[in-house]
Amino acid sequence: MKTEREVKIRQVEIRDAFWTPMQKKVLDVVIPYQEKVLRDEIPDVEKSHAIENFRIAAGLSKGEFYGMVFQDSDVAKWLEAVACALALRPDPALEERADEIIEIIEKAQQPDGYLNTYFTIKEPEHRWQNLYECHELYCAGHMMEAAAAYAEVTGKEKLLHVMEKMADHVIDRFGLEEGKEHGIPGHQEVEIGLMKLYRATGKEKYKDMARYFLEERGKNPDYFYEEKLKRNWQYWEPYSTERMDVSYNQAHKTVYEQDEAVGHAVRALYMYTAMADLAGTDGDERLFGACRRLWENIVEKKLYITGGLGGNPEREAFAGNYELPNDMAYAETCASIAMVFFAHRMLEACVDGCYADMIERELYNGTISGMQLDGKSYFYVNPLECVPGVSGKAFGYRHALPVRPGWYACACCPPNLVRMITSLGKYCWGENDSTIYSHLMIGQKAELEKAEIIVETAYPWKGETAYIISPKTREAFTLAIHIPYYVDFSKEAAEITVNGERVDAPALMKKGYVYLTRKWQVQDRVEIHFPMEVRKIYANQQVRENAGCVALMRGPVVYCFEETDNGAGLQSLRIPGELKAEANFCREGILKGNVLLEIEGFRMKGDGELYSEKPPVKEKQRLTAIPYYAWANRGENEMRVWVPEE
Amino acid sequence: MKTEREVKIRQVEIRDAFWTPMQKKVLDVVIPYQEKVLRDEIPDVEKSHAIENFRIAAGLSKGEFYGMVFQDSDVAKWLEAVACALALRPDPALEERADEIIEIIEKAQQPDGYLNTYFTIKEPEHRWQNLYECHELYCAGHMMEAAAAYAEVTGKEKLLHVMEKMADHVIDRFGLEEGKEHGIPGHQEVEIGLMKLYRATGKEKYKDMARYFLEERGKNPDYFYEEKLKRNWQYWEPYSTERMDVSYNQAHKTVYEQDEAVGHAVRALYMYTAMADLAGTDGDERLFGACRRLWENIVEKKLYITGGLGGNPEREAFAGNYELPNDMAYAETCASIAMVFFAHRMLEACVDGCYADMIERELYNGTISGMQLDGKSYFYVNPLECVPGVSGKAFGYRHALPVRPGWYACACCPPNLVRMITSLGKYCWGENDSTIYSHLMIGQKAELEKAEIIVETAYPWKGETAYIISPKTREAFTLAIHIPYYVDFSKEAAEITVNGERVDAPALMKKGYVYLTRKWQVQDRVEIHFPMEVRKIYANQQVRENAGCVALMRGPVVYCFEETDNGAGLQSLRIPGELKAEANFCREGILKGNVLLEIEGFRMKGDGELYSEKPPVKEKQRLTAIPYYAWANRGENEMRVWVPEE
């Protein structure tokens, strides 16, 4: 079961009560704001200079390079976001401005294909000497993604040609062949870019190069160390001959030998994404096995319930197995987005509901928690517990801010969110010769090869979804619909009907998908109904931080408790053993439209002593839980996902 | 109720099953080891050079200064420990070596009285320019303490005269008088030293100078900032004109205005100790009120159950109210020792059982946890939860080592423990014209002014203590015995008898002491019996880290659970609501002689999923708890004080 055709953003028009407003917000607020930042038109935020760097490198302007060594990638990410935006809603003025920027990029490219403004402007003699720290391949990877997206949506191939030239330059320089360097990127990403370039151009050499970078990695764990000794300088720190810990960027073992997700989470997940893409594309079982081992380590031992990834804030990294601190979590927005990419590539390689479930977990929780409801401010770090006065301030907690700031010097998460939200359609479907796979229950109109399908749904708030099918073929084909893991068709209330007739859902289920095969007729209607119950979730006993606690979920949505609704001292709340919860739409205020939970719970009250033999008494308290992703939208206040059970 | 006479170490001979072996260990192992370290005779430990620094300053040796700017204080602390040791057990050879060192110190003193090897050897032109960072007054304070102790025990006053000369030099330089600088110490300690010098010499000027330093502090919160701007250099860091946060060393407000324990815990507690000493000595109600406010903040909001102080590892500092992380605790051994000093001075100023209870809490828990049972290795940091692989290793946890190391470059805690353990007798008693106060139930023979008293006790393991009194006067006097706060005489099993006759204990109790007044006869015998039950302790609901958890105490001893006895994953253990605990003496192994607890508890077992709707099941497990102070004596393993309640 492999989906063979990538679905394009253009094929899908999202018409969804949850996602359409979010897409609109991203188009109306975020993309224009980011453009202004890149053009240095916004006062009081960290200067970007990213477009100006390209102008200087192109000889169109005079000046010095300014910004991070990977500043170019901000332009790449924005261009990719623009491509996705244009797929959703034409905007000739925006497209013209993007075209102009692409022309500057083309002029900034060197005659040999090399493209990177930092080295071109500042240290041309040091090109390619510091793969470990200097992100040349990383920036190239993002620009390849932008080029592929821009070509797909607008049909314009200028940037694609620029990046082909750059990719050819990279291929000339690195590889196993005689005379080439055995280089690998310090920050993985070019592998994803090369796979997209391969798909956009059909040229195998780009896929081969992606395979080279993936398979070369970790063969010589001292590669970066030897590179450093050879070059005699460092970018971020004073030069030292100390050996580096290359598990940080997953270069400690070959990808086939790695069986634990370690190091910088985003680097890791970008690598796993490319591995899964290549495994699926080439039908490479061995590589898929490597992906699967890493996947299992993550989902069994290193994943926050919100989909957050990275329990070690120091290096934005995975922590040890079961080390999932709530208040000190890193759980970078970009890591959750990268997990969507990884899960999507796994799903393409092997249709299994566990991957679609992961995309859902990320989409409704740990990714969009990164954005304020108004689209104007962003979290990098998505903790599962917030304590004003400690979070963002105290030792060990400075990274875990209690409210979303407006912008960051290292602006990776906001544009990453933009491209995920605008390209949502891509994650909804898979298709091959026999089957259409519906991965996500999102309201939309989709133009697939075998059918046009309209999806109407109240998901994630209600388990009621209808698929209205207009086939484009008279042949029978299969519609395989992903059923979320928590739905139980052995219960009476859950059912699937086709044109009003109930089908034997359990019998038709395989690995999280219900397979409906027939000669579909125009206006055939599949309905899926299931009760949306509040679920009490227990963490593995090895997770220290969640001992004695439970979290609440309803559908794919993880809930949290905020001080605003429940008073201070959330640790003294108790979820009752016998849970009675009401789920109600919020009718007013910033949370309007979200389903909130009301629970008859308790609050423990002590005698006021710091230490006492007197047990605290239990007082009834009506508790309110809100969707986790919407936390910190009502000012700085306490928040907690895991609450002690009575 | 004020105790007027300080009891001297010499007056008390400890004969106690718990403390005598500990004193012996300190005399036999720790003091000789420390001497070897100071003399640079131990390979593989951080070089000390502390005695050699004095030799160089004295002109007896050539070379460079080596070590911390406060290296001199290591010699001072060792000399004080030697004085205490000599009070316990004569050792002419040791005394001779100490005398020789004192002669070197005398020679290192400058003609104007100044004593500090760092500045004398290295930067004589920079003397007294950097009170904020350079510890000249701190070192002087420790040497004054050593001088007073050495004179008290040996009768030799050479070091006392040296330190009087130094104190006079300090008095000439600092003060409110015309022409003097309004200086205050960067690290408080000289205030304690001056009070001891006052008591050793009877000279009021030293007490006045202690008062000056205490009362000048915080009057000008910019004092250290102005000092920095004037001097134009810094010791620890490159020079900057940035303003410092002087709440770190409690110079942000006057001592009368401070009502929250903030900043570096040891600095704070040394200051509070001197404040309480001065308040008691002068009968200064206003100053005592200031002490009391700080005391209350600590015991109500900032104290670990073990007596640990300092929840903020970054600056060895107090954290916010109720911020008491277990695994990230700092809880420095020295801070707990300083709390013994503070509580003892409070007790002298105002007899109240709460202070004696605090001394007990510290003596049986957070102080001696700093020393391995064999006396050969030490903890600075005393966490209440240890997780191998995380503790001592992961971000946020590097300070909290899982096992005691042999020695430290900054060697403050081991000698501090030595002086506390050797001078234990001082904390046992108070005396004034009418009353003898027994603060602690420790087996001993004490020579007090009004009586010789032999105490026989099985404390802390059993609540059985006898006081055998041999009066030295025919007049009636009162024997006031501190009864630990957890003893309840309204229960039948608890009783006090005098010569076998039960007295009406509740009627005779006042603020934690039972007052027995009579014309005492030779061999009068007071017996105190109370049941020693295992107590389940709940933390204030505002302590996030202990939500849903309980800790166990028996008598003054806090217990903990170790992996060695209970298996890994201590967070999955549960203490039953109805506690049934057996207390048994450990008969073998390293913990022999300690009372261990056996509890019918539970372990929660989940289904192995990282997140599951299936509640974990409760399996019975017999749990073993050991005294907290004895943790980490059986290799690196998990430890936990607070365990979830069923």
What one-character-per-residue DSSP string does B339-355 give? Answer: HHHHHHHHHHHS--HHH
Q: What is the DSSP letter of A181?
A: B
Interface probe for B, chosen from A538, A554, A558, A566 (most Cβ of B below 10 Å), is A538
Comparing alpha-carbon positions, the chain A residue that sits nearest to B397 is A396
Of B435, B460, B455, B437, nearest in space to B445 by CA:
B455
Token readout for A310 is 């990275």
Dihedral sign (CA B346, B348, B354, B359): positive
Mutate which of B316, B610, B618 to test chain A, going by most A C-beta atoms within 10 A? B610
CA A629 – CA A366 distance, rounded (Å): 7
pLDDT at A411: 66
- CB contacts under 8 A, A 396-435 vs B, are 396
Concatenated DSSP letters of A76-124: HHHHHHHHHHHHHS--HHHHHHHHHHHHHHHHHS-TTS---HHHHHT-G
Q: Estimate to the nearest angstrom the gap between the alpha carbon of B465 and the chain centroid.
A: 25
Residues of chain A neighbouring B315 (CB-CB closer than 8 A): 395
Q: Do B544 and A614 touch (CB under 8 A)?
A: no
Specify the pLDDT at position B411.
66
A576, A602 contact by CB (below 8 A):
yes
CA distances from A309 to A322, A447, A561 (A): 12, 34, 21
Task: Express each pLDDT in B86-97 by its tens digit.
Answer: 999 999 999 999
Residue A146 distance to chain B (closest CA, Å): 36
- Which of A259, A264, A295, A319 is CA-nearest to residue A544? A319
Chain A environment of B571 (Cβ under 8 Å): 541, 543-544, 547
Of B134, B386, B412, B413, the catalytic one is: B412
Q: With an 8 Å Cβ cutoff, is A542 touching chain B?
A: yes
- Within an 8 Å CB–CB cutoff, is residue A301 touching chain B? yes
**Backbone torsion region of residue B29, taken as left when φ is above 0, otherwise alpha when ψ lies between -120 and 50, otherwise beta:** alpha
Backbone angles phi, psi at A625, to 5 degrees: -115, 145
Task: Tell me which residues of A are annotated as active site.
Answer: 316, 412
Best of A398, A536, A570, A610 to substitute, by most chain B Cβ atoms within 10 angstroms, is A610
Tell me whether B258 touches chain A (CB under 8 Å). Answer: no
**Smallest Cα–Cα separation from B547: which of A557, A387, A381?**
A387
DSSP B478-497: EEEEE--TT--TTSTT-EEE
Q: Are A612 and B548 inside 8 Å of each other by CB? A: no
Closest CA to A82 of A47, A51, A107: A51
The third-level CATH classification (topology) of the domain covering A429-459+463-529 is Immunoglobulin-like (2.60.40)
Are the CB atoms for A259 and A293 separated by under 8 Å? Answer: yes
Identify the helix (H) or strand (E) that includes residue B136.
helix B136-154
Q: Does the distance separating the beta carbons of B314 and A395 come in below 8 Å?
A: yes
Chain B: residue whose CA lies nearest to A322: B610
Question: Is it the case that residue B409 has pLDDT exceeding 80?
Answer: no
**B638: chain A residues, CB-CB within 8 Å:** none
* Mutation site, B541, B552, B642, B646, interface A, largest A CB count within 10 A: B541
A94: nearest Cα among A106, A107, A75, A79 = A79
Token representation of residue A274: 């490319």
Summarised one tens digit per residue, pLDDT across range B222-257 is 999 999 999 989 999 899 999 999 999 999 999 999
Residue B449's Cα: distance from chain center in Å? 27
Distance CA(B278)–CA(B204), nearest Å, equals 12
A303 contacts on B by Cβ (under 8 Å):
610
Contacts with A315 from chain B: Cβ below 8 Å: 395
Candidate from A314, A542, A609 with C-beta closest to B395: A314
Q: What is the pLDDT of residue B4?
A: 66
Tell me which residue in A390, A538, A542 faces B614 most closely, judged by beta carbons.
Answer: A538
Question: In this structure, what DSSP letter does residue A616 have?
Answer: P
Q: Chain A contacts of B537, Cβ < 8 Å?
A: 611-613
- Which residues does chain A have within 8 Å of residue B486's beta carbon, measured at their own beta carbons? 613
Has residue B410 got a pLDDT over 60? Answer: no
Instruction: Write down the pLDDT at residue B546.
Output: 97
With contacts defined as CB-CB under 8 Å, which chain A residues touch B301?
610
B323 in contact with chain A, both atoms CB, cutoff 8 A: yes
CB-based contact B541 A569, cutoff 8 Å? yes
> What pLDDT does residue A407 have?
62
Give the list of residues 6+ apart from residue B587 with CB closer than 8 angstroms, or none: none
In chain A, positions 142-161, which contact chain B (CB-CB < 8 Å)? none
B303 contacts on A by Cβ (under 8 Å): 610
Q: Is there a contact between A542 and B572 if contact means CB atoms under 8 Å apart?
A: yes
Of B319, B541, B610, the CB nearest to A539: B610
Question: CB–CB of A366/A449 below 8 Å?
Answer: no
Whether the per-residue pLDDT at B407 is higher than 80: the answer is: no
Instruction: Give residues with Cβ within 8 angstroms of A197, minimum separation 6.
Output: A144, A147, A148, A160, A163, A164, A167, A203, A206
**What ipTM was reported for this prediction?**
0.96
Strands B435-438 and B477-482 turn out to be: parallel
Beta bridge partners of A454: A445, A468
Report the distance separating Cα B140 and Cα B174, nearest Å.
14
Nearest Cα of chain B lies from the Cα of A546 at a distance, in angstroms, of 9
Q: How far is CA B393 from CA A393, B388, B396, B400, B569, in A?
A: 22, 8, 8, 8, 18
How many DSSP H helices and E strands does chain B contain? 19, 23
A 202-241 residues with CB < 8 A to B: none
Contacts 24+ apart (CB under 8 A), B615-624: B615/A536, B615/A538, B616/A538, B616/A541, B616/B572, B618/B574, B618/B646, B621/B566, B621/B573, B622/B598, B623/B561, B623/B565, B623/B566, B623/B573, B623/B575, B623/B598, B623/B599, B624/B561, B624/B565, B624/B566, B624/B596, B624/B597, B624/B598, B624/B599
Please identify every stretch of chain A with a pLDDT value under 50, giving residue numbers as ranges: none
**Would an 8 Å CB–CB cutoff place B572 in contact with chain A?**
yes
| Residues A515 and A450: beta-carbon distance below 8 Å | no
Q: What is the pLDDT of residue B44?
A: 78
Beta-strand (E) ranges in A29-69? Answer: none
Q: Do B547 and A616 touch (CB under 8 A)?
A: no
User: Is the CB of B644 inside 8 Å of chain A's CB atoms?
Assistant: yes
C-alpha–C-alpha distance, residues B193 and B273, integer Å: 11
Nearest chain A residue (CA) to B638: A544
What is the percent of chain B with per-residue pLDDT over 70, rounded to a whole number?
98
Report whether B255 contacts B214 (CB < 8 A): yes
**Could B541 and A387 be called an inter-chain contact, meaning their C-beta atoms sit closer than 8 Å?**
no
**Contact at CB, B616 and A312, closer than 8 angstroms:** no
Burial of B488 (0-12, 13-18, 19+ CB in 10 A): middle
Counted across chains A and B, CB pairs separated by less than 8 A come out at: 132
Q: Does the pLDDT value for residue B368 go beyond 70?
A: yes
For the purposes of burial, counting CB atoms within 10 Å of the CB of B501, is it exposed (0-12), middle (13-18) or buried (19 or more)? exposed
The pLDDT value recorded for residue B415 is 85
The identity of residue B561, as a single letter, is F
Inspect the interface and report whether the beta carbons of B320 and A389 lie closer than 8 Å. Answer: yes
In order, the DSSP letters of B171-197 are HHHBSSSTT-B----SS--HHHHHHHH
**Would the CB atoms of B544 and A387 count as touching at under 8 Å?**
yes
Whether residue B320 lies within 8 A of chain A, CB to CB, comes out as yes
Instruction: Note the pLDDT of residue A137.
Output: 98
* Inter-chain touch A395–B396, beta carbons under 8 Å: yes
Give the closest of B300, B319, B606 to A541, CB-based: B606
Q: Which of B312, B604, B613 is opposite residue A535, by nearest beta carbon?
A: B613
- Counting Cβ atoms within 10 Å, is residue A352 exposed (0-12), middle (13-18) or buried (19+)? middle
Contact criterion met (CB below 8 Å) for B354 and B485? yes
Chain B residues lying within 8 Å of A328, measured CB to CB: 396
User: Where along chain B do its domains lie?
Assistant: 49-253, 265-426, 429-459+463-529, 534-644
- Cα–Cα distance measured from residue A143 to residue A72, given in angstroms and rounded to the nearest whole number: 8
Measured between alpha carbons, how far is A641 from A557 in angstroms, rounded to an integer? Answer: 12
Q: Which of chain B's residues have a Cβ under 8 Å away from the Cβ of A615?
A: 536, 538
- The Cα–Cα gap between A254 and A275 comes to 12
CB < 8 Å from B in window 261-300 of A: 299-300
Residue numbers in B near A563 (CB within 8 A): none
Residue B464's pLDDT is what?
A: 97
Mutate to test the interface with A, among B611, B640, B645 (most CBs of A within 10 A): B611
Q: What is the pLDDT of residues B567-603, one digit of tens each?
A: 999 999 999 999 999 999 999 999 999 999 999 999 9
Would you call B551 helix, strand, or coil by DSSP? strand
> Tokens for A527?
């309905």
Using the Cβ of A472 and the Cβ atoms of chain B, whether some distance falls under 8 Å is answered with no
| Per-residue pLDDT band at B492 (split at 50, 70, 90) | confident
